[in-house]
Every structure is written in structure tokens, then in C-alpha cells.
Amino acid sequence: MDKTFLVFVAIGIGFLYFVTHFVGDIQAEDDKYANQAYTEEHKYDKYVGVDSVGRNVLNLLGVDGETQVAAWNEGKLKDEYLTLFPDFGQMKMFIDEQINGDVLSVKLHAQLKDVEDKFFSGTMTQDQAKQALSSIK
């Protein structure tokens, strides 16, 4: 292969990388330049905060129940919650300390109690329990 062709390809890839990251930064910083996909992806970011200890918190006080459930199902705090899985006590503390929303807290506690009862009675396997905890309706 010709060396000039390889240099041209390398410059082209560098230019594409620069442009895509530059446009992404503009979308993150300025709402009027954000496209629909960016807006949809970050729709619930305004409800995520940090408490005084430095933990991520979902602040859903004063928000309707449907939005609370949607923010939970789309958010990243759910993944952190699921990593605590076999320790149901830690999961209950997570809900109490890091979820601020009455409707969502009640639903999560009810779901956790149901899964805990079924898991310890042997009617639900570990994979089934994780699947049941992964989304809330």
C-alpha cells in the first residue's frame, strides 16, 4: 500500500473522532443543539443527585407515579441496586436511603418482599429473582 494513502486514512479517522466528540460535547452543554436521541437518553437525569455522603440518589418527590417508575427503569441506580442482590437487608437500606419518592419506594419494597419470600422458600431461583427485580411496573 502507498504510504500517502495510509496517512490520508489516519487523518480522516482523526478528523471524524474530533468532530463526533466535539458535537457530543456541544449537545451536552447546550440544550438548543441537543437532538431528539440525546434528549430521550437523558430525560431522567434531572432526578439524579448526590447526597451528603457522596452516594447517587433518585429525587422523585412531587413527581407522579408513572414518571417515578419510568425514571427507575431507565436509570443507572437500578444497576447499583441489583448488584446488592443476595443481601436483601442492604437492598432495603438502599431503597430507604437512596430513593426519594413515595410511590416508587412502596412499589420497590413490595416487590423486594415478594421476591425475598419466594427466593427463600425455594420457589424462585437466583436468575428468576434477578429477573423479577430488574423491572418494576
Whole-number pLDDT of residue 25 = 64
pLDDT tens for each residue of 20-33: 776 666 555 555 55
Cβ contact 43:74 at 8 Å: yes
Whole-number pLDDT of residue 24 = 64
Please state, for a pLDDT cut of 70, what percent of the chain lies above it: 83
- The whole-chain average pLDDT of the chain stands at 78
Dihedral angle sign, alpha carbons of residues 4, 9, 14, 19: positive
pLDDT tens for each residue of 54-104: 788 877 787 787 877 877 777 787 888 888 878 888 888 888 888 887 787
Mean pLDDT of 22-46: 63
Helix H or strand E segment including 66 = helix 65-74
Domain-by-domain residue ranges, the chain? 3-41, 45-134
What number of H helices and E strands is found in the chain?
A: 7, 3
Whole-number pLDDT of residue 34 = 54
More confident residue, 34 or 118: 118
Mean pLDDT of 28-47: 64
More confident residue, 71 or 110: 110
